[in-house]
Structure 1
């Protein structure tokens, strides 16, 4: 929320504090945080490094295999859902597409990949 309001310094501090120990980061949270922080400070090299790290996140063996880049899961109540793997890949891709825009715009749907545009993530 702080980044949406333009309060990058506080947003960065909060995001850094939310990072997980590497052994607990099985879904790429830390690279997502690193990419977001790099976006907020206009660090293109850091953003590229974080994006590569996010792309390198592999699916845990205890999860179902990906179907067209999507993880399909069932909840205990029978509901199903799907998410793109790795999580937040679409957010980071949107930030990359709109590096010159404010975070509130770059995070939004207009900058994110759409099915007709394809994706640079696996």
Structure 2
């Protein structure tokens, strides 16, 4: 697994996602951390934002909150404005800061839809015909779930909808 190219390791079931099961979050996070160490030279210059984010998500699900926040902050400034706001909302949730979470949601909802989004949705529809279509702003559903399930653990809240139902 550690010898896989970055995309395969991070985005396919051949990589860390094969370890993403309830109770195994720390194992998955450790696999990502190990992958980054083992492949450090090969990854030089690569955009590691998604990989670091996924390790942070797994650490959050494992209850390793401070480590999760540190990872999420590590790549935050390299991301798009929408992704930064999603990171802000996630970090606010992990810090149990409802006021900051609500403020991040308001800033996320205020983002204008970019011109490229409609074409991206059309491509997504063709590529993933059995998946729900993305809506703007991206990750709004996750942020709404964090608000609705504010007092629940991250792994559960990540799967909540805006009404507090776990998907």
TM-score if structure 1 supplies the norm length? 0.73
The structure where helix makes up a greater share of residues is 2
**Which one is further off, 54-63 or 99-108?**
54-63
Q: How many residues align?
A: 103
Is the contact between residue 77 and residue 84 of structure 2 (CA under 8 Å) also seen in structure 1? yes
Q: Distance in 1 between matches of 2:75 and 2:95?
A: 18
What per-residue deviation string (whole Å, max 9, x for no partner) do you get for residues 26-49 of structure 1?
A: 5x1011000110011111111111
- Give the equivalent residue in structure 2 for 1:58: 112
Which residues of 2 match residues 1-122 of structure 1 at below 5 A? 1-21=58-78, 25-26=80-81, 28-64=82-118, 72-74=121-123, 78-79=126-127, 82-108=133-159, 111-113=160-162
Cα distance change on mapping 1:113 and 1:44 into 2, 3 Å: closer
What per-residue deviation string (whole Å, max 9, x for no partner) do you get for residues 85-121 of structure 1?
A: 111111111000000111111111xx2147xx9xxxx
Q: Distance in 2 between matches of 1:50 and 1:60?
A: 19
Is the contact between residue 108 and residue 137 of structure 2 (CA under 8 Å) also seen in structure 1? yes
Q: Distance in 2 between matches of 1:105 and 1:80?
A: 25
Q: Per chain length, whose mean CA-contact separation is higher, i.e. which structure has more relative contact order (CA < 8 Å, sep 6+)?
A: 1
What residue ranges of structure 2 are gaps of 5+ in the alignment? 1-57
What residue ranges of structure 1 are gaps of 5+ in the alignment? 66-70, 118-122
Is the contact between residue 38 and residue 47 of structure 1 (CA under 8 Å) also seen in structure 2? yes
The structure where strand makes up a greater share of residues is 1
Q: Distance in 2 between matches of 1:40 and 1:72?
A: 30
TM-score if structure 2 supplies the norm length? 0.55
Cα distance change on mapping 1:63 and 1:105 into 2, 3 Å: closer
